[in-house]
Amino acid sequence: MKFTRKANAEWKGTGKDGHGTLSTQSGVLSSTQYSYKTRFEDGVGTNPEELVAAAHSGCFTMQLSFLLSEKGYEPESLDTEAKVTFEDGSVTLIELYLTGKVAGISEPEFTEIAAKAKDICPISKLLDTTIELTAKLA
């Protein structure tokens, strides 16, 4: 299966004093505000690192669901929080915190399948940084 997704960024002004908007093909983001303040301070809007966290947690969680299904498990719920650390001009760490509710699976098997999902998730493959995973059953 091959597909292409697209998004658009528009920026006006300087890096520190300017502002921009982000829009996605699906329309989920439509002229969503971002700026220096939303990225490096506590301004209203989003930022690239937050969007990477959302993309990574979503991709990883869906990948895990597929892998669990392949092993005969039906997850009741999978909740993943992704934390993206930015320092010295780079994303230096992504931490995935997973809590799952999956009937009949042992903690070691759940952790093993989650680790595989982390490694083969397309967004994980895209990112050139350390990715840590903490997985537990609810």
Domains of the chain by residue range: 7-40, 48-137
Proportion of the chain above pLDDT 70, given as a percent: 100
pLDDT, residue 127, reads: 96
C-alpha–C-alpha distance, residues 23 and 43, integer Å = 18
Average pLDDT of the segment spanning 98-116 = 99
Tell me the pTM.
0.94
Residue 27 has phi, psi (to 5 degrees) of: 90, 0
Region 48-137: CATH code: 3.30.300.20
The tens digit of pLDDT for each residue in 16-61 reads: 999 999 999 999 999 999 999 999 999 999 999 999 999 999 999 9
Neighbouring-strand partners of residue 76:
none
